[in-house]
Structure 1
Amino acid sequence: MTSLSIIRRGAGAGLTALAATAVTVLAAPSAYAAVQSVSVEGSDHKVGTTYTITAEVGGASGGLLVYFSDNGEFIGAPKVPWPPGSSTIEWKPSTPGQHIITVEQGGSTKSIVVEVSKASSGGTGSSGSSSLSGTGSAGKLLGGLLGVLLGSS
């Protein structure tokens, strides 16, 4: 065997190894996909009610911190997936309307849209009366201050 054919065989093996590496690198991003699904408990979401957001995570970066956000604002601190493959956080919407809940982990993101409605009134308040004096100490204090300011104490 001549040195020229050894060089050709070596180059051929090198190209084969290079092609295999390129295929592995091109296939790698799907192996690193982290956030697989996002869900919010319940179906009739109301302002001021607490819900659990659950993210199912996996892939090679499954152990990285999980970040939750509501319309771009982080919800709490980042979470370590526990038990493995899952991460949860409590969420209490403060405004009605459309909320885009996004979960991020290791460069992977997934979002879900949640409609939040106003909290229903409990019906315990009085209607038709605009008196500022209440039966509690805060109501009495406020009524007394307003009486002094208005000159009718």
Structure 2
Amino acid sequence: MLQKHSSRAYGVGVAFVFTLATAAAIAAPPANAWVSGIKVSSERLTVGYSYKVTAIISRDLISLVSFTDNGDQINGSPVRPWGFEASVTWTPKTPGTHELTAWQRIGGIDSKTITVVVADKNPVDPSGERPGTTGSANSIPLDGLPATGSANLP
């Protein structure tokens, strides 16, 4: 009789462990992510210029891909993947650090995020002058003749 009890306890234990393993497998994300990477078309980013932000898709080539900049949806998003990629044009409006995220919602959210730094379009140095607005053309020859003069840009 003692042996019958322990067999029943063993069977209940195995069923419980199997149930937990099944629940964990259902709740866990897939081994291969849907969005496997994200990239931007340039490393030097400036306010007001447009760049291509691309998500690399490794599994689900049907579901739409959404893109956000610091949590705000990027215009033109969401987009349908094409050839293991999905892209959107992004024009940063503010300088500083930006978190760009690409994600798909498929029974949960699968996403990748990159952090980029955007430069101001017209930086001003502490003296109040914009860098690169003054200069000289004294050393640039035109038609074989030495050039003279200077230019101050607004």
TM range (shorter): 0.5 to 0.7
**Equivalent position of 2:46 in the other structure:** 46
Q: Report the Cα distance in structure 2 between the residues aligned to 1:34 and 1:109, rounded to whole angstroms.
A: 8
| Per-residue deviation, 1:65 | 0.8
Task: Provide the TM-score with structure 1 as the length reference.
Answer: 0.60
Identity of aligned residues (%): 32
Larger Rg belongs to? 1
Letter in 2 for 1:69: T
**Equivalent position of 2:86 in the other structure:** 87
The 1:118/1:24 distance shift into structure 2, 3 A limit, reads: closer
After alignment, is 29-38 or 69-78 more displaced? Answer: 29-38
The 3-state SS of whatever aligns with 1:81 is coil
The 1:119/1:24 distance shift into structure 2, 3 A limit, reads: same
User: What runs of 5+ residues in structure 1 fail to find an aligned partner?
Assistant: 1-7, 128-153
The 1:32/1:119 distance shift into structure 2, 3 A limit, reads: same
| Per-residue deviation, 1:30 | 1.9
| Per-residue deviation, 1:26 | 5.4
| Per-residue deviation, 1:64 | 0.8
Q: Deviations over 1:75-115 (max 9, x none)?
A: 023101012x2100000111110111011112101100110
Q: Report the Cα distance in structure 2 between the residues aligned to 1:64 and 1:32, rounded to whole angstroms.
A: 16
More helix by share: 1
Q: Report the Cα distance in structure 2 between the residues aligned to 1:97 and 1:28, rounded to whole angstroms.
A: 35
User: What runs of 5+ residues in structure 2 fail to find an aligned partner?
Assistant: 1-7, 123-129, 134-150
Runs (4 or more) in structure 1 with deviation over 6 Å come to none
Task: Provide the TM-score with structure 2 as the length reference.
Answer: 0.60
